[in-house]
Amino acid sequence: MLDVLRLGKPLLVVTNESLMNNHQEELANKLKDENYLHSCTIKDLPQAIESFDQHGLRPFPPPKLDIFPMFLDSIFNFS
């Protein structure tokens, strides 16, 4: 999912409702709430495809690869 977003492609995520502790749906809903993608369930897929509008979707930001090493440096006083 994140690889597609990083390519700048509009994305419609279809979540699997039958999963226990559905983290897939939680992530999709969070990214949907922030306007990075659209999401739906399988039963809503036909209507979601029909009404899909990529305008208003935000570009997904690039990863900040230096955050974790900086955090470790601060904890272990490496800097």
**Looking at the predicted structure, is the pLDDT value of residue 79 above 80?**
no
Domain count, the chain: 1
Q: CATH number of the domain at 61, please.
A: 3.40.50.2000
Task: Kindly report, residue by residue over 16-28, the tens digit of the pLDDT.
Answer: 888 878 888 999 9
Average pLDDT over residues 58-68: 92
Take residue 27 and report the two structure tokens written for it. Answer: 């992530």
**Looking at the predicted structure, is the pLDDT value of residue 1 above 80?**
no
Dihedral angle sign, alpha carbons of residues 44, 61, 6, 72: negative
Average pLDDT over residues 31-38: 97
pTM: 0.77
CA distances (Å), origin 54, targets 1, 4, 15, 21, 68:
16, 14, 19, 29, 32
Which residue range(s) make up the domain with 49?
Answer: 2-76
Contact 56, 35 (CB under 8 A): yes
pLDDT score for 52: 97
